[in-house]
Structure 1
Amino acid sequence: MPISTPLTSLLGIKHPVLSAPMAIIAGSRLVAAVGQAGGFGILGGGYGEKQWLVQETAKLQTSSVPFGVGFITWSMARKPELLDIALQAKPRAIMLSFGDPKPFGPRIKAAGSLLICQVQTEDMAKQALDAGADILIAQGTEAGGHGASRTTLDIVPAIVDFAAGQVPVVAAGGIADGRGLAAMMVMGASGVLLGTRFYASVECDGADEAKKRICAATAGDTVRGMIFDISRKIWWPAPFTARTLVNDHARRWIGRETELVHNVEAVAAEYGVQRDAGNYDVAAVFAGGAAGLIHDIPPAREIVERIVSEADQILSGRRNFQAA
C-alpha cells in the first residue's frame, strides 16, 4: 500500500522513498527505476561532469516519471552552467548539498522546479529556508559519502522541530530498510533518502566489486575522515568529511593525515592508477553505516517495495521493529 505524506503529495510520487544523488553512479537507469517503483530518483550531478550530465538528463527528459538532479553546491558554483543544463530537462526538483543555496534558489524556482536542500545543522536549515527550500533533507553522520558530525537520531527531530511544518523534512543517514523508514516517520520525517542501499542495486552504475564489498561489510566497517579527499586532491570545505568502507588505503593513513598531506603528490598519483584499475583495496567505496544491513544486490523496484511493505506493516502494528 502507498504511504502518503506531505512529501509524496509535493513530489507527486507514491512512496516516501528517495534515492540519493550519488556522484556519477546515480545515473538515469537508477533514477528511472526508482521513479517507476513509485519513489523519487535523484541524478548524481556530483562535481560536474558536463557531458555526462547532458547525456543522462536527455534520457530522463523523455521519462514519464518525476525525477530530480542533485549537485554539490560549492562545486557547481564554479560551473553554474551545469544548473542550466539540469533545468532544461525540466526536473521536478533540484537538490543542493554542501554550500549556500541562495544564489541558485531563484533560478530553480523560476524554472518551475522544487528546491531540495540537504542540511546538517539548524543554521544550515535556516539558510535553506531563506533560499526558498521546498524540502529539507536532515542528514546524519551515518550517511555514506560526505556529511558532518551529528547523528541521524539527533538531527532529524531537531530539523523537524526547526521546520515546524513549513516544509517536509526527509531523513538521511544509516537507513536501509523499512525499520528505518518507520522510525524516521515516528520522529516526524516525511520520508527517507537512501544512498548506500541503492548503491547495491542492479541499476546503480557503480562497479560490481564495490557493490559486493558493501554486501560483505558488517556494522562498524566504515570510517569518516579526509583520507580519500586528500588522496584525490579534492579539498572539501569544513565541516564536511567523507564516510567510506574501511580498506587497506584507509588503514594505512588513519592517524597519519598530516603525513599524507605532505606526500600528497605521490600518493594521489598512485591512488589514481589504482582507482582506474578498479582496485578497491585502495580506491574508496563511499558507503554509510547502513552497509551492515545490506546483503544483496536486487533491482531498485524490489528495494522500494521491500522498504515500503516493511514500514507499512510496522506502522500499522502488524510487525514489530525486531522482526522487520
Structure 2
Amino acid sequence: MENRITKLFNIKYPIIQGGMVWCSGWRLASAVSNNGGLGLLGAGSMHPEVLVEHIRKMKEATDKPWGINVPLLYPEIDRLMNIIIQEGVKIVFTSAGSPKKWTPLLKSHGITVVHVISSTLFAKKCEEAGVDAVVAEGFEAGGHNGREETTTLTLIPNVVESCSLPVIAAGGISSGKSVAAAMTLGAEGVQIGTRFAVAAESSAHPTFKQRVFDTEEGGTMLALKKLAPTRLIKNDFFNQVKALEDAGAEAAQLTELLGKGRAKKGIFEGDMTEGELEIGQIASMLHKEETVAEIMEDIIADFNKTTSKLGDLKL
C-alpha cells in the first residue's frame, strides 16, 4: 500500500506503534520498524540519559524509519528536545500539549512532526502549527485520553473533513478489520497501542501482560477526569480513585492519591493492586502474548481478507 502516510515515513505498511510509557523501549520499537511499520520510543517514561541509550540502541537494531513519542508536559522537555536534535532523530510524535512551541524548531532541523489530538478543534490548530500529520485518538484508547470522550468511529471522519493533513486513526484498533474500518472512514494510517503493549518485545512486566489478557469486556474505565482522563484496568487503585471521584474530590486530593510512579509500579514493576494499569478497551480481545512479527502478519492478513470481502458487498 502506498499513501501519504507510507510516503511521509517511508514505511511499507501504514501501521504505527504507539509510544507507550513503560512499554515502548528499543526492542519493541525496532521490531515494529523491522517488520514494515513505524516503531516509536516512548520518551514519557525515560529520563534523558535513558532516552539517549534507547536512541543509540535503536540505531544499532534497525536501519528502517523510526521515531519518538514526546509528551509535551514532560518536566525536562527542553533537554529531551535537545537530545532528539543532537542525536539526529528524524520523526517525532508529540502529545499532551500544544504543538505550536516545538513544531517550528523540530521542523527547522528536518524532523517530521506528528501531533496526537482528540478533537477537530485541535486538528485545525495542528494544521496552523505546521505539523505534518495528526493522530486522531478516540476515547477507547488506553492511558491518557481526550476530555471530549469522542469515539474513534465519530472522531475520524470529523477530523478528516476538518483539515487537509494526513490522519492516523487510534483508539480501539488492533486487527486488520479495524484497520480497514479506519481507512474506510478516511484515515490513511493507524496507531496501535494495546496490542503492541503486550507483545513479547514490550518492556511491560509479564504480570501486567497477563492481567491484560485476563481483562473482560468492560474491565477498563476512564478515571482521573479532574486531572487528565486516563483509561485504566479496574483494580484496587482504580477503586480508590472512583471512591474519591464519587465523593466529589477536588484535583488536589486526586493528585495526592496518585503520587509519583503509579504507572511504573503497575506496568513496569507488576504491582496489580496499587499500580496504575493503563490499557485500551480492546484488552478484552487479547488473550496471549505474540511477537511483533506475528502481530504484523496477522493484521496484514486480516486486513487483506476483510477488504477482499468488502469488495463483494453491495447495497
Take 1:311 and 1:273, find their aligned partners in 2: how far apart are those partners?
34
Paired residues of 2:72 and 2:98 also in contact (CA < 8 A): yes
Unpaired stretches in structure 1, ≥5 consecutive residues: 228-234
TM-score, normalization by structure 1: 0.87
Match of 1:151 in 2: 151
Structure 2 vs 1, CA of residues 266 and 254 (structure 1 numbering), >3 Å: closer, same or farther?
closer
Distance 2:263 2:99 in 1: 31
- Residue number in structure 1 paired with 2:15: 17
CA contact (8 A) 1:253 1:260 kept: no
Q: Are the structure 2 counterparts of residues 197 and 129 from structure 1 closer, same or farther at C-alpha, using a change threshold of 3 Å?
A: same
Aligned length: 306
Task: State the partner residue of 1:108.
Answer: 106
Counterparts of 1:69-88 in structure 2, within 5 Å, are 69-75=68-74, 78-88=76-86
Find the residue that maps to 2:191 and give its secondary structure: strand
What is the CA–CA distance in structure 2 between the aligned matches of 1:131 and 1:259, rounded to whole Å? Answer: 34
> Separation in 1 of the partners of 2:203 and 2:264?
20
The answer as to 2:183 corresponding to 1:191 is: no
Q: Distance in 1 between matches of 2:210 and 2:242?
A: 24
2:49 aligned partner: 51
For residues 302 and 170 of structure 1, the distance between their equivalents in structure 2, rounded to whole angstroms, comes to: 22
2: CA distance, partners of 1:244 / 1:187:
27
**Per-residue displacement from partner, 1:293-312 (whole Å, max 9, x unpaired)?**
11111111111111111111
Superposed, which structure 2 residues align to 1:228-247 within 5 Å? 236=227, 240-247=228-235
SS in 1 for 2:99: coil
CA contact (8 A) 1:176 1:196 kept: yes
State which of 237, 242, 246 in structure 2 corresponds to 1:254.
242
In structure 2, the residue matched to 1:231 is none
Contact kept? 1:28, 1:59, Cα under 8 Å: yes
Contact 1:313 1:319 (8 Å CA) reproduced: no
Inter-partner Cα distance in structure 2 for 1:23 and 1:210: 13
1:304 pairs with one of 269, 278, 296 = 296
Report 1:1-324 matches (<5 A). 3-46=1-44, 49-62=47-60, 63-75=62-74, 78-148=76-146, 149-163=149-163, 166-226=164-224, 236=227, 240-257=228-245, 258=249, 261-262=252-253, 265=256, 268=259, 278-317=270-309
Give the partner amino acid of 1:310.
D
Cα 1:88–1:168 shift into 2, 3 Å:
same
Cα distance, 1:61 vs structure 2: 2.7
Paired residue secondary structure (2:124): helix
Residues in 2 aligned to 1:269 and 1:46: alpha-carbon distance in whole angstroms: 14
Q: Which deviations, in whole Å up to 9, do the C-alpha atoms of 1:1-54 show, x marking residues without a partner? A: xx3322112111111111001023200111100001100011101155112111
Which whole-Å deviations, capped at 9, do the CAs of 1:51-97 have from their partners, x for residues lacking one? 21111011123430100101111226x53121121233333310001
From the superposition, tell whether residues 112 and 281 of structure 1 become closer, same or farther in structure 2 (CA, over 3 Å): same
Check whether the contact 2:18–2:193 (CA below 8 A) recurs between aligned residues. Answer: yes
Seq. identity, %: 29
Q: Residue type matched to 1:281 in 2?
A: T
Asked if the contact 1:20–1:194 (Cα under 8 Å) also holds between the matched residues in 2, the reply is yes
Distance 1:311 1:301 in 2: 15
Q: Cα gap change, 1:265/1:192 in structure 2, threshold over 3 Å: closer, same or farther?
A: closer
Query: Aligned partner of 1:7: which letter?
Result: I
Q: What is the Cα deviation at residue 262 of structure 1? A: 4.0
Whether the aligned pair in 1 keeps the contact of 2:263 and 2:277 (CA below 8 Å) is no
Structure 2 letter corresponding to 1:118: V
Q: Are the structure 2 counterparts of residues 133 and 249 from structure 1 closer, same or farther at C-alpha, using a change threshold of 3 Å?
A: same
CA distance in 1, matches of 2:191, 2:264: 32
| CA distance in structure 2 between the aligned counterparts of 1:173 and 1:272, rounded to whole angstroms | 19
Q: Over residues 175-220 of structure 1, what are the superposed CA-to-partner deviations in whole Å (9 max), with x where a residue is unaligned?
A: 1111110100111111110111101101110100111111111111
Alpha-carbon spacing, 1:204–1:127, altered in 2? closer, same or farther (3 Å): same
Does structure 2 conserve the Cα–Cα contact (< 8 Å) formed by 1:176 and 1:294?
no
Tell me the amino acid that sits aligned with residue 314 of structure 1: T
Structure 1 counterpart of 2:210, one-letter code: K
Q: Helix, strand or coil for the counterpart of 2:74?
A: helix
Counterpart code for 2:151: T
- The worse-fitting range, judged by mean Cα deviation, of 113-122 and 48-57 is 48-57
Residues 101 and 267 from structure 1, CA distance in 2 versus in 1: closer, same or farther, beyond 3 angstroms?
closer
Could you tell me whether the CA contact under 8 Å between 1:18 and 1:193 is conserved in 2?
A: yes
Secondary structure (helix, strand or coil) at the match of 2:12 reads coil
